[in-house]
Amino acid sequence: MLQACLNGSRDSAFHAYTPLTPARLAADAAAVIAAGASELHLHPRDPSGAETLEAAHVAAAIEAIRAKLPDVPIGLSTHAGIAPGGPGRLTAMKAWQVLPDYVSVNLIEDDAPEVIALALSRGIGVEAGLWSVADAERFVTLPEAKQCLRILIEINEQDVEEGLQIAAAIRKVLARASLDVPVLQHGLDAGVWPLYQDALMRGLDGRIGLEDGKHLPDGSEAPDNAALIKAAFRLARVPPNLPPDAVPPIAGN
């Protein structure tokens, strides 16, 4: 499964085509699904462009996308830095009338267990975000661990070798726990394509999009999210022992 992460905390200063408004998110979602992505991950925004979990803005983003793509799973971030922030997330999530299919919850955050429990109680799937071995060790002790939709191995390190080593150590913790929960592995910026290739080699799900990075495997800037998804599928057809710059150019972006 390849998930498209459309925007994250990025803005138009990062990339001109970062989708922020409900209309732009819906158009971009349609483009990445047409390019081959299976699911969506996004961060709704308020009219100023700031990330938000407030019910009205969450509903606007989800409804705009579902009007075009009624059957495509939509996930949201619950990152503690998103307004209203911290414990206020629980209050905001309780007010949601239009629900996403799933949310991602970072185990590094103190109230992650409460956010996970609330999401599951509302019938919302949970992606458990693990940034470190400590996160993994905390996660596998949770009573709700086996109820999660999937586990995200999220590598933020910019030293690629270090990031791959951390991912391997997290996978060892998960293997010992025998949770039988799907795993999606992804990197950030310099780690995007190495972590994606590693995920391909191991049969794990992947995630690609402007939230994680704006460059194609050859180092050039992608014109948009759809181009990144096309590059991911093209890379998946290259043997794992070949470097990212061996990927043929993508025509018709």
Task: Round the CA-based radius of gyration of the chain to a whole number and report it.
Answer: 17
The reported pTM is 0.90
pLDDT at 57 over 80: yes
Q: How confident is the model over 48-57, as a mean pLDDT?
A: 96
pLDDT at 253 over 50: no
Q: How far apart are CA 224 and CA 27, in angstroms?
A: 12
Report yes or no: 217 and 245 within 8 Å, Cβ to Cβ.
Answer: yes
pLDDT at 246 over 60: no
Q: What is the pLDDT of residues 116-134, one digit of tens each?
A: 999 999 999 999 999 999 9
Nearest to 196 by CA among 222, 159, 164: 164
Q: What is the pLDDT of residues 133-176, one digit of tens each?
A: 999 999 999 999 999 999 999 999 999 999 999 999 999 999 99
Domains of the chain: 2-246 (3.20.20.70)
Q: How far apart are CA 88 and CA 73, in angstroms?
A: 25
